[in-house]
Amino acid sequence: MSRLSRDLAAGLDSLTKLVLSQPIDGTADPKVSVRPVFLRGGRYYQVERFRDNKAFHENLDGEQLLRLMESELDGRYRQALLVTERESAQYSLKRDGSYKRSGAAAVPRPAATGGNNREKRYLLPEGEAIPALVDLGVFTPDYKIVRAKYDKYRQINRFVELIDQAFRDDGRKELTILDFGCGKSYLTFILYWYFAVKQGRQVKIIDYDLKADVVEHCNAVAEKYGYTGLRFVHADVSRDSLYGQRVDMIVTLHACDTATDYALHYAIEKGADYIFSVPCCQHEINLQMKKGGELDVFLRHGIVRERMAALLTDEIRTLVLEDMGYSVDVIEFTDLENSPKNLMLRARRTGRRSEKGRTLAREIAGRYGFSQTLLELTKE
């Protein structure tokens, strides 16, 4: 057993990162990295190998990792970096097959802070090895946040935190997720990575978008990293045939105007257990609304009218979802300074149905002379 293997065994319980690079021949993977992951069974170690420009992942317990190190990795790489919670060290392979250790240094611990100056701890911290976010321009090649994408990074983390809260005590090992209006798919790749790679679940994610070039690019990125359960489809949610089997979760992040309504209706029709929707561009009611009662005071100024119509749109969606068997929270999923489109409808299926909410919504729609797509789609 080499010094590298002995040090790995000694520091296994506090391992932060192991990286092996510069293979001695062409039979070894170009690069192998290991980091701890916490699954339902406890602490595991995720081995990431890069081969033919694709990433392959495997979760091992401590004994399995040490056996892999001894049988397949030790002595086959010229350089290694071993980082634990206590120290960081570099290793270089010598001609006799042993490793020389150098550059050992204590890992600095962050200074304690108090009050409101405490640093935000993200589920997806900067430096996390998420290769797809490099291709999508959120991370640099060394997994640092691109300065211009920092707000996007915060939004993604917040979205994943909210989804994690819902699934933290959910025991299902297989998930089917549909994402509507996926765009450049920052969130989609993170969701796939979070559930499939970090948590080790069997995940199928299907993403729909109207832009064929974006769909083509995202499929290429998914294929590059071996994300076999992730697929992007060029389709219009308002008219095209979509996935016809059971769905666990529906996601819409800034699906424009009535595209949100069609996605919510699809979720209701399929009986999706969870819905996470951040609406965008709620123009429908604003373009139709006429004076008709107490709300007339909000129609005097364009910007007030626009905001009131957007809030009314989302409240009607909430009433419909509650009537159709969902409990719904309306929450601020990110700071207003980061995005003005910051309200999320978070819904969980209960099966308890009603007509009360839709009756109220229809009365308001009739009084002010507008129709609302989700309300119309759920007429029975």
pLDDT of residue 206: 93
- Stretch 309-330: mean pLDDT, rounded? 95
- pLDDT at position 358 is 96
- Whole-number average pLDDT of the chain: 85
Architecture of domain 144-377: 3-Layer(aba) Sandwich (3.40)
Annotate the chain with three-state secondary structure. Answer: CCHHHHHHHHCHHHEEEEEEEEECCCCCCCEEEEEEEEECCEEEEEEEEEECCEEEEEEECHHHHHHHHHHHHCCCEEEEEEEECCEEEEEEECCCCCEEEEEEEECCCCCCCCHHHCCCCCCCCCCCCCHHHHHCCCECCCCCECHHHHHHHHHHHHHHHHHHHHHCCCCCCEEEEEEECCCCCHHHHHHHHHHHHHCCCEEEEEEEECCHHHHHHHHHHHHHCCCCCEEEEECCCCCCCCCCCCCCEEEEEEEECCHHHHHHHHHHHHCCCEEEEEEECCCHHHHHCCCCCHHHHHHCCHHHHHHHHHHHHHHHHHHHHHHEEEEEEEEECCCCCCCCCCEEEEEEEEEEECCHHHHHHHHHHHHHCCCCHHHHHCCC
- For the four alpha carbons of 6, 7, 12 and 15, in that order, the dihedral sign comes to negative
The pLDDT value given to residue 183: 67
Q: Look at residue 18 in the predicted model and tell me its pLDDT.
A: 92
Distance (Å) of CA 102 to CA 19, 173, 313 = 15, 43, 62
pLDDT at 182: 63
Average pLDDT over residues 220-236: 89
- Res 124: pLDDT: 77
Q: Which of 14-18, 47-51, 351-355 has the least mean pLDDT?
A: 47-51
| CB proximity list for 365: less than 8 A, separation 6 or greater | 316, 371, 372, 375
Amino acid at 62: G
What pLDDT is stored for residue 319 in this prediction?
A: 97
With tokens 């389709």, the residue in question is 235
Between 307 and 337, residue with greater pLDDT = 307
**pLDDT at 160 exceeding the cut of 70:** yes
Residues of the chain with CATH 3.40.50.150: 144-377
Asked whether the predicted pLDDT for residue 170 surpasses 80, the reply is no
